[in-house]
Amino acid sequence: MLNTLPNWLNLSVYNPWIVAIGLNSILLLIATIIPKKLLTPAGLIHAWGLGVFVWGTLGWRGYGVVMFYFLVGSAVTRIGMAQKQAEGIAEKRDGARGPENVWGSAFTATICAIGVAGIKFGWLDSGWESLLLLGYVASFATKLADTTASEVGKAYGKSTFLITTLKPVARGTEGAISLEGTLAGIVGGILISLVAYSFGMITFTGVIICTIASFIATSLESVIGATLQEKLDWLTNELVNVINTIIGAVVAIEIAIWWH
Helices (H), 34-128: 41-77, 81-87, 99-120
Per-residue pLDDT for 4 more than 60? no
pLDDT of residue 34: 84
Residues 226-251: pLDDT tens digits? Answer: 999 878 888 998 999 999 999 999 99
Q: Domain range spanning residue 28? A: 10-259
Environment class of residue 23 by beta-carbon count within 10 Å: exposed (0-12), middle (13-18) or buried (19+)? middle
Rounded Cα–Cα distance for residues 9 and 14 (Å): 9
Would 190 be classed as within a structural domain?
yes
**Total of domains in the chain:** 1
pLDDT of residue 46: 95
Reported confidence tier of residue 211, pLDDT bands at 50, 70, 90: very high
Would 27 be classed as within a structural domain?
yes
Chain-wide mean pLDDT for the chain? 89
Q: Residue 236: left if φ>0, alpha if ψ -120 to 50, beta else—which one?
A: beta
Average pLDDT over residues 109-131: 92
Ranking 75-89, 131-145, 205-219 by mean pLDDT, the lowest is 75-89
Verdict on whether the full-model pTM lies above 0.85: yes
Q: Give how far the C-alpha of residue 193 lies from the chain's centroid of Cα atoms, to the nearest Å.
A: 11
Would 224 be classed as within a structural domain?
yes
Rounded Cα–Cα distance for residues 31 and 29 (Å): 5
Per-residue pLDDT for 56 more than 90? yes
Would 253 be classed as within a structural domain?
yes
Would 5 be classed as within a structural domain?
no
Per-residue pLDDT for 184 more than 90? yes
Torsion angle defined by CA atoms of residues 194, 65, 77 and 106, in that order, rounded to the nearest 10 degrees: 130
Say if CB 72 and CB 60 are below 8 A apart.
Answer: no
Would 221 be classed as within a structural domain?
yes
Per-residue pLDDT for 86 more than 90? no
